[in-house]
Amino acid sequence: MSTEVGIIYHPRQEAARGLAQRLGERLEQRGIARWALPAYDTRTPGLMPGTGLVVCVGGDGTMLWAARYAAPAGVPLLGVNLGRVGFLAELEPEELDAQVERALAGEGRTERRTMVEAVVEEGGRVSAEPLLGLNDVVVGRPSVGRPVYLTLRVGGETVAVVRADAMIVATATGSTGYNLSAGGPVLTPQDSSLIVTAVAPHLSRMKPIVLPGDSTIELQVQTEHQAMLSIDGQIDLPLETGARVTVRRSLQVAHFIRFGAPGAFYHRLARHLDLLAQGGERA
């Protein structure tokens, strides 16, 4: 592993900025090369080659941003949770110094997380590059507007035509996000399956579907207004009626460094479900 460390921090949290600065100073004292940027900084992709470890300081959103650029470069992620539940960023701030030392020493285990990619075909044009996501691909109405008609095809075969707010294609990582809020199932983190879940389907009995990871999933939208494609809730693209979005499992894989037992996921899940039962905020 290269010893250069990247630090990506939440851009609007002073605590994240301060913790990132402290970590950078400690690495500098040890003579370890490092760089630091806020999440959503466009310089991030160019710094990934040659980086051996990226430390994400913030919450799961920061991890999602970093994963889309770290995965193609094969760089593992270590997350520090300053958010709520922290499904992806599992360390607490007081653990940071010791766990970074362990990560640089090659300790811990690596979780491989399935990612998805989406290709848009609209007006006879196909997007030049697939859009990469870790959590999910969502096709539906904008935040305000009428439901849209969505045709779901799997392997070229029509499965359903649904009038709904949206349809989600989620990975196992994303199964605890929007998919769960919409009534979809939770998968164990390293499962390679994909989940298709309709959001608020109108007069439809469609239930969430768990598909093999090698499935080709197509979502075609029909609307009198405009629709939206969203990747991980961070990349939004408008869609016109007739647009088709093809979703597949990506060859890119996100790598998370973990120090806790694999069963820690279920503890975090129990906390999350307890928060939802109490009407608390979603992570």
pLDDT digits (tens, 9 = 90+) for 222-257: 998 889 999 999 999 999 999 999 999 999 999 999
pLDDT at 283 over 50: no
pLDDT at 67 over 90: yes
Model confidence at 10, pLDDT cuts 50, 70, 90, reads: very high
Residue with tokens 């389907």: 201
pLDDT of residue 262: 79
Q: What percent of the chain has pLDDT over 90?
A: 80
Model confidence at 266, pLDDT cuts 50, 70, 90, reads: confident
Measured between alpha carbons, how far is 77 from 257 in angstroms, rounded to an integer? Answer: 6
Query: Which of residues 102 and 276 earns the better pLDDT score?
Result: 102
Hey, is 105 helix, strand or coil? coil
Encode 84-118: b = buried (16+ Cβ within 10 Å), e = exposed: ebbbbbbbebeebeebbeebbeeebeebebbbbbb
pLDDT of residue 204: 84
pLDDT at 273 over 80: no
Measured between alpha carbons, how far is 113 from 118 in angstroms, rounded to an integer? Answer: 17
What is the CB neighbour count within 10 angstroms for residue 121? 15
* 60 noted as active-site residue: yes
Whole-structure pTM value: 0.92
Q: What is the pLDDT of residues 135-189, one digit of tens each?
A: 999 999 987 778 999 999 999 999 999 999 999 999 999 999 999 999 999 999 9
pLDDT of residue 32: 95
pLDDT of residue 157: 97
pLDDT at 275 over 70: no
pLDDT of residue 104: 93
Q: What is the pLDDT of residues 12-47, one digit of tens each?
A: 999 999 999 999 999 999 999 999 999 999 999 999
What the chain holds in terms of domains, given with CATH numbers, is: 5-108+259-277 (3.40.50.10330), 115-251 (2.60.200.30)
Distances (CA, A) of 115 to 8, 192, 280: 20, 9, 28
Q: Which of 41, 60, 136, 236 is catalytic?
A: 60
Average pLDDT, the chain: 92
**Of 204, 85, 79, 209, nearest in space to 157 by CA:** 209
Q: What percent of the chain has pLDDT over 70?
A: 95
Measured between alpha carbons, how far is 158 from 114 in angstroms, rounded to an integer? Answer: 25
Q: Which two tokens stand for residue 139?
A: 């096709």
